[in-house]
Chains A and B, each alone.
Chain A
Amino acid sequence: MAGLFDYTPAVVLLPFLSFLIAVGVAISGRDLLPKGGAVPGIAATAGSFLLSVALAVAVAGGEVYNETVYAWAGGAVPGTEGLELTFGVLIDPLSALMLVIVTLVALLVHVFSLGYMNDEGETGLPRYYAGLGLFTASMLGFVVADNLLMAFVFFELVGLCSYLLIGFHFREPGPPSAAKKAFLVTRFGDYFFLVGVVAVLATFGTGQFAGPESFPVFAEEALHGEHAVNTFLGLGEETWFTVVGLLVLGGVIGKSAQFPLQTWLPDAMEGPTPVSALIHAATMVAAGVYLVARMYGFYAVSPTALGVIALVGGFTALFAGTMGIVKRELKQVLAYSTISQYGYMMLALGAGGYVAATFHLLTHAFFKALLFLGAGSVIIAMHHNENMWDMGGLKGRMPVTYYSFLAGSLALAGIFPFAGFWSKDEILYETLVHGLGGQPLLLVGYVFGLLAVPVTAFYTFRMVFLTFHGDARTEQASSPEPVGWNVKGPLAVLGVLAAGAGVVNLAPVRVLTGAHVDFLHGWLDAGFAELTVHHYEEIDPYSSAYIGGEATTVLVGAAVSLGLALLGLALAYKLYAVPTPTEHTAKLGSVRDLLYDNYYQDEYQVFLARRVVLPLARAADTFDRSVVDGAVDATSSVSLFSGSRIRRIQTGVVSNYAALLTLGLTVLLVLFGVLGGWLL
């Protein structure tokens, strides 16, 4: 099957090809392709999906692949080992799984776009499909990247594509501004990532993720004194690894919208809804979490970095959830739920729950894509009015959307037995047992995560009840526009996945019955020895402890989180599942304003930019103009002035020149005489 792996770059190149075709059509300015260029995109992502599935099957057969495809720069300073910058492909269980997720979601989003963009008569469709194609291609390139630098390159491309797509409706005032914000905020994190990449290359001389010559392996050996690495700033090896890990984490926090760089994501809702689905479920936001999982061996050797990841994740999960409670727009609620769910994944990674995080990444990709596409369907029906208070009663009028959306919501809220329940429960379980094993920091993260559970359930079902239940509150809601097969099809596929994807990893069932039903665990425990789950468990600093026994802990944890989720659901049911709901959030008073204005984070970030960064930049500018430029200008004016004086000896009178010559000769003679000793 080695032949199959040679086609791996095609997974990335197919969507790129569709991008090129769409760009060609856009440049030609004519309506060359039917459906505005959607067909090449659908064909390409379908091809990528099939190839990814084939790869996943091959990986399931125990094969892995790690090859350098192209070395684009290389060199060595004499006396060092040298450095080669390459593009390569790494296919192991993690990347194969991610490939399937990304290509599947991208395919469904392309199909959905037929309904959302084409049927709604949008203009600029070739541009839209070009963006989607490049977005998918960049994300796939990032997923198969075999080294950190290549990952960084595609990470940046993903950011660029998000800019292009969020700002798709560039003639309106909102989208361009949101696009710029997304780009700048994630760029801010990426600066740290870039420094981190350079630091990794300088420290280990390689950015490879897998193999005996990879930097996670080197880091592990260095801590055992078996491999020499370059550390900087006079720091010890472990401290330095923590610093490097946190630098790379900067990029992760920006892309995965973790506190404090999450502000771009809610604004990114200005983009077309299918794009939001793609960004949230499979591409941009997932990239950050995937990066941490990809280089988990490196983070596992640094307890401090893990602690920071866990704490940031847990805090974000709760923090973003509270803001979702009061939003009026459908997509805003979903945006905050995304931030919150990625917070859970970060919490899991920080708490040593590598499988749990990957599992949640998988289930979240399905149910969040589903929720966004469902929201898109509602938005079509409502003629692009996103305010939930103008909806209501859509349940009977669009049943396919309602039931698939409900499945996604149950999964998001973590209700048994939907997919989200299993993954979220495993995250909380891993955090709890590792926290009990002597890590009080993780217990703090656990409390955050647990508190976020009822909040999630509440805002999710507030959204469901307001949108679909009760009486129609506007004309539009009582006679929604019907949606086509291209909307319902993706919804049905994702609805099934959101309901049932949990079966891939029923870890609690394994603990209780002993049956080997935690397939994902086994899946991620294959492939390269240094990238397997049990290897990570060996090197991470955590140990487990239980309340009573393992089975008791599983049951207690699951019962508590499910109970809290049902509590949130029940509260939402009581408040909003009535024929004419009212805005109960008003009772919160000033807290509501605080939440509605996102804890004034935009304001304080603008304040930081205006009052701190701008004066600093001005001061630097002044310094540059006065001191640096001053020194340069002084040199030139001294030269100019002395030149203007000295040139006056050029009188043009030959006699003067003769006199000067004679004088010079005399001086020389006298000088030689004195120095030579035959005069005086």
Chain B
Amino acid sequence: MVPAQYYLVLSAAIFCIGVFGLLTRRNALLFLMSVELMLNAANVNLVAFSLYWGNVTGQTFSLFTMALAAAEVAVGIGIILVLYRNFKDVDVTEATTMRW
């Protein structure tokens, strides 16, 4: 059996890629993708621990996470559409009207 640490390293790597994407990209769609990566990194963790302890609660939880992610994408796409309508662009650094 593959030791738990490997899953954890994988999950940490995916999470960091997600964070990196979030911090460096300007395209709103790429934001959504990065967030998806981070959520799935968490899923990997949950499943890995579930396997390690022989307890299905973690896997059940990851199912909930997927549902959540689906909902998040639905809302996110909606926001991006509105963003595009208002600014003719999906570049998040353009929409800076809500500032001091």
Minimum C-beta distance from B14 to chain A (A) = 16
Within 8 A of B (CB), among A621-664: 647-648, 650-655, 658-659, 662
User: Is the CB of B86 closer than 8 A to any CB of chain A?
Assistant: no
In the bound complex, CA of A78 to CA of B26 (Å): 68
**Quick check: A662 and B100 within 8 Å, CB to CB?**
no
Minimum C-beta distance from B11 to chain A (A) = 16
Residues on the A chain within 8 Å of B23, using CB: 655, 658-659, 662
User: Is the CB of B56 closer than 8 A to any CB of chain A?
Assistant: no
**Quick check: A655 and B100 within 8 Å, CB to CB?**
no
Given A658-B22, A659-B23, A662-B23 in contact, is the A647-B92 Cβ separation under 8 Å? no
User: Is the CB of B19 closer than 8 A to any CB of chain A?
Assistant: yes
Minimum C-beta distance from B45 to chain A (A) = 15
Residues on the B chain within 8 Å of A651, using CB: 96, 99-100
In the bound complex, CA of A659 to CA of B92 (Å): 14
Given A658-B23, A659-B23, A662-B19 in contact, is the A653-B100 Cβ separation under 8 Å? no
Q: Which residue of B lies closest to A656 (CB)?
A: B93
The 8 A CB mask of A478-512 against B (1 = contact, 0 = none) is 00000000000000000000000000000000000
User: Is the CB of B2 closer than 8 A to any CB of chain A?
Assistant: no
Given A662-B19, A662-B23 in contact, is the A652-B95 Cβ separation under 8 Å? yes
In the bound complex, CA of A631 to CA of B57 (Å): 59
**Quick check: B99 and A652 within 8 Å, CB to CB?**
yes
Residues on the B chain within 8 Å of A647, using CB: 100
- Tell me whether chain B's interface is mostly helix, strand or loop, or mixed: loop
- Tell me whether chain A's interface is mostly helix, strand or loop, or mixed: helix
Minimum C-beta distance from B98 to chain A (A) = 5
**Quick check: B19 and A653 within 8 Å, CB to CB?**
no
The 8 A CB mask of A653-680 against B (1 = contact, 0 = none) is 1110011001000000000000000000
**Quick check: A652 and B92 within 8 Å, CB to CB?**
no
In the bound complex, CA of A454 to CA of B100 (Å): 89
In the bound complex, CA of A652 to CA of B93 (Å): 8
Residues on the A chain within 8 Å of B100, using CB: 647-648, 650-652
Say which size band chain B's interface belongs to.
10 to 19
Q: Which residue of A lies closest to B19 (CB)?
A: A662
Out of B19, B26, B31, B98, name the residue touching A652 (CB < 8 Å). Answer: B98
**Quick check: A652 and B22 within 8 Å, CB to CB?**
no
Residues on the A chain within 8 Å of B92, using CB: 653-655
Residues on the B chain within 8 Å of A654, using CB: 31, 92-93, 95
The 8 A CB mask of B73-93 against A (1 = contact, 0 = none) is 000000000000000000011
Residues on the A chain within 8 Å of B31, using CB: 654
Minimum C-beta distance from B34 to chain A (A) = 9
Minimum C-beta distance from B96 to chain A (A) = 3
Minimum C-beta distance from B29 to chain A (A) = 13
In the bound complex, CA of A652 to CA of B99 (Å): 4
Q: Which residue of B lies closest to A650 (CB)?
A: B100
Minimum C-beta distance from A406 to chain B (A) = 92
In the bound complex, CA of A304 to CA of B22 (Å): 89
The 8 A CB mask of B43-83 against A (1 = contact, 0 = none) is 00000000000000000000000000000000000000000
Minimum C-beta distance from A663 to chain B (A) = 10
Q: Which residue of A lies closest to B28 (CB)?
A: A654
**Quick check: B99 and A650 within 8 Å, CB to CB?**
yes
Q: Which residue of B lies closest to A646 (CB)?
A: B100
Residues on the B chain within 8 Å of A650, using CB: 99-100
Minimum C-beta distance from B84 to chain A (A) = 15
**Quick check: A655 and B96 within 8 Å, CB to CB?**
no
In the bound complex, CA of A655 to CA of B26 (Å): 8
Residues on the B chain within 8 Å of A658, using CB: 22-23
**Quick check: A653 and B93 within 8 Å, CB to CB?**
yes
Within 8 A of B (CB), among A155-176: none
Within 8 A of B (CB), among A310-362: none
In the bound complex, CA of A654 to CA of B22 (Å): 10
In the bound complex, CA of A38 to CA of B22 (Å): 94
The winner among A647, A655, A659, A662 for most chain B CB atoms within 10 A is: A655
Minimum C-beta distance from B73 to chain A (A) = 17
Q: Which residue of B lies closest to A654 (CB)?
A: B92
Minimum C-beta distance from A330 to chain B (A) = 80
**Quick check: B96 and A653 within 8 Å, CB to CB?**
yes
Q: Which residue of A lies closest to B34 (CB)?
A: A658
Residues on the A chain within 8 Å of B26, using CB: 655
In the bound complex, CA of A648 to CA of B100 (Å): 6
The 8 A CB mask of B11-47 against A (1 = contact, 0 = none) is 0000000010011001000010000000000000000
In the bound complex, CA of A650 to CA of B93 (Å): 13
Residues on the B chain within 8 Å of A655, using CB: 22-23, 26, 92-93
Minimum C-beta distance from B89 to chain A (A) = 13
In the bound complex, CA of A654 to CA of B23 (Å): 9
Sorted nearest first, the 4 A-B pairs with minimum C-beta distance are A652-B99, A652-B96, A647-B100, A654-B92
User: Which residues in A have some Cβ–Cβ distance to B below 8 Å?
Assistant: 647-648, 650-655, 658-659, 662
Since A651-B99, A651-B100 are in contact, a sample of 17 more A-B pairs with Cβ atoms closer than 8 Å, ordered by chain A residue number, is A650-B100, A651-B96, A652-B95, A652-B98, A653-B92, A653-B96, A654-B92, A654-B93, A654-B95, A655-B22, A655-B23, A655-B26, A655-B92, A655-B93, A658-B22, A658-B23, A659-B23
User: Which residues in B have some Cβ–Cβ distance to A below 8 Å?
Assistant: 19, 22-23, 26, 31, 92-93, 95-100
What are 26 A-B residue pairs whose CB atoms fall within 8 Å in the complex?
A: A647-B100, A648-B100, A650-B99, A651-B96, A651-B100, A652-B95, A652-B96, A652-B97, A652-B99, A652-B100, A653-B92, A653-B96, A653-B99, A654-B31, A654-B92, A654-B93, A655-B22, A655-B23, A655-B92, A655-B93, A658-B22, A658-B23, A659-B23, A662-B19, A662-B22, A662-B23
